[in-house]
Amino acid sequence: MKKAKLVVSGILCAVMALSLVAVGGTKAAAEEAPAPSGANYKILFMPKLTNIPYFQSTNEGAQEVAKELGIEVIYDGPTEADASAQVQMLENYIAQGVDAIVVGPNDPAAVTSVLKKAGEAGIIVLDWDTQADPTVTDGSVYNVIDEEFGKHMVDKLVEYMGTDEGDIAIITGGLEAANLNAWIDAGQEYMAEEYPGLNVVTIEPSNESQDEAYQDTKDVLTAYPSVIGILGYSSPTGPGCGKAIADMGLQDKVAVVANGLEEDCQEVLKNGGLKCACLWSTQKLGRLSIATAYYMLENDGAFPQEGEKIAGWSDPIISDGEHNVYLTAGGEDYEAK
């Protein structure tokens, strides 16, 4: 498979420059990360739902770094993209007592009160994968720069459709998912500016389910036979939408560019049902999320600075110095050879 690294965005360059100025004489850009202190912290690592490959893969990275740091990371969450179930589970863990909560909210608005409660209880609160209300979190772990990622996926779809005009559809994970909505919004704004001939006929939720993404794709193409391109947001859409296209024999008529784990998309990339999967290293996302929480526990809630080396993470941190750290500027493309 070909992997194409995305270009660092001007937005990120600006963030990095500003944070370097702000850091000044702090310990940013330290040559080596400090050794783990040996404190036995307990960190809750909660995804939107626990039982899909994307989040299971992030947990692999989280558990690896937990062993290295000598801490306990609890991977728990709902088995469906259920905001109310997530809130109840967070309430339970606050009552039980944890040192930090690292959560990917299904519905950011739904978790505001419970995350505020966690902060008031002295718990470090971070969001990851999807951002919550920043007024109730101590920091955010971003997988990508939302605007750049949204634009990139549109560019890839136009490339594979071979035209910048026509009807397209969007299959998303959940309608309340802030990160997915940010990519969709950025993409649609970009279309209006750069590709005004593209027409989004519908946006359909797959509820983070590969089976639903599969059925959504078939339903969309039945209802809108003029569709020549599909953008899929959330990792189950890559294999789900791609399989639907292949099963319908539409590989030469409908181009699909969607999120997906490389290993989950091999078959649909090879048979042409999926033209390009856009994502990032999920294991590294889990690792960075836990390493950031650990850093804040070790440093009385202080946020890691741009260029700093922290325990559990091998690369210098990409940070705005105040609230956001970034795994990568863009991501990786997985395409058939």
* Alpha carbon distance 317, 321 (integer Å): 10
CA distances in angstroms from 190 to 7, 68, 151, 154, 208, listed in the order given: 17, 42, 6, 8, 25
Residue 162 class from Cβ within 10 Å (0-12 exposed, 13-18 middle, 19+ buried)?
exposed
Contact between 98 and 44 under an 8 Å Cβ cutoff? The reply is yes
The residue-averaged pLDDT of 234-260 equals: 98
Q: Within the chain, where are the H helices?
A: 10-23, 53-69, 83-96, 112-120, 146-161, 178-194, 210-223, 237-247, 266-271, 282-298
User: Does domain 8-143+281-328 correspond to CATH entry 3.40.50.2300?
Assistant: yes
The residue-averaged pLDDT of 96-118 equals: 97
CA distances in angstroms from 212 to 49, 159, 172, 218, listed in the order given: 15, 26, 10, 10
Q: Quick one: which of 213, 220, 263 has its CA closest to 242?
A: 213
pLDDT per position as a tens digit, 217-229: 999 999 999 999 9
Query: For the chain, where do the domains classified as CATH 3.40.50.2300 start and end?
Result: 8-143+281-328, 146-279
Q: Predicted confidence band at 59 (pLDDT cuts at 50, 70, 90)?
A: very high
* Alpha carbon distance 272, 204 (integer Å): 22
Q: Predicted confidence band at 337 (pLDDT cuts at 50, 70, 90)?
A: low
Among 30-44, 83-97, 257-271, 290-304, the minimum mean pLDDT is found in: 30-44
Count of alpha carbons within 13 angstroms of residue 66, beta-carbon side? 21
The residue-averaged pLDDT of 294-305 equals: 96
The residue-averaged pLDDT of 79-108 equals: 97
- Start-to-end CA span in the chain (Å): 6
Q: What fold is seen in the domain 146-279?
A: Rossmann fold (3.40.50)
More confident of the two residues 6 and 313: 313
- Does residue 66 register a pLDDT over 80? yes
